[in-house]
Amino acid sequence: MRCFVDSNVIISAGIFPNSVPADALRKAVSMPNTTIVSDYALDEVHRVINKKFPSKVGDFETFLYRLMFDVELVFTPDDSVADEPNLRDINDQPILRAALVANADVLITGDRDLLESGISSPQVVTPAKFLEISENSH
């Protein structure tokens, strides 16, 4: 399964290693899955960590460095892509756009606007739902 991971899941996994988002990220980077992260999401991760968790920047950079060995990095197109639905939070548009360009099967997020968007491709799920789906698919 091609798993696009949103910035909020990466942040939660890095800050709280025993959390459901951390479990979901570990599952996403495990075979047979392919984990996808966008440059836009990584920029967002850096902004949030520097602002909200400045004392954890060093440890988080180490976490991200290790994570990058297990993910496919995609670049976020500046312009909309074919069949791109509009979201109520325009700041989520680049995340969706990158997931579409990467041909993700699932977008793992904690973002309510994305979760309530009604988008079916990629399937937008919480980390907990992703764990449930991945357990049932094996």
Among residues 81, 86, 119, 89, the alpha carbon closest in space to that of 8 is found at 89
pTM of the model: 0.91
Average pLDDT on 82-105 reads: 80
Count of the separate structural domains present in the chain: 1
Average pLDDT on 56-62 reads: 91
| CATH number reported for the structural domain that contains residue 131 in this entry | 3.40.50.1010
The pLDDT of residue 120 is 83
The string of pLDDT tens digits covering residues 99-131 is 999 999 999 999 888 888 888 889 999 999 999
Among residues 136, 114, 131, 104, the alpha carbon closest in space to that of 24 is found at 131
Other beta carbons within 10 Å of 95: 27
Burial class (CB in 10 A: 0-12, 13-18, 19+), 138: exposed
| Angstrom distances, CA of residue 15 to CA of 9, 10, 24, 63, 122 | 10, 9, 14, 9, 26
The pLDDT of residue 65 is 92
**Residues 98, 40 contacting (CB under 8 angstroms):** yes
- Structural domain boundaries, residue 104: 2-136
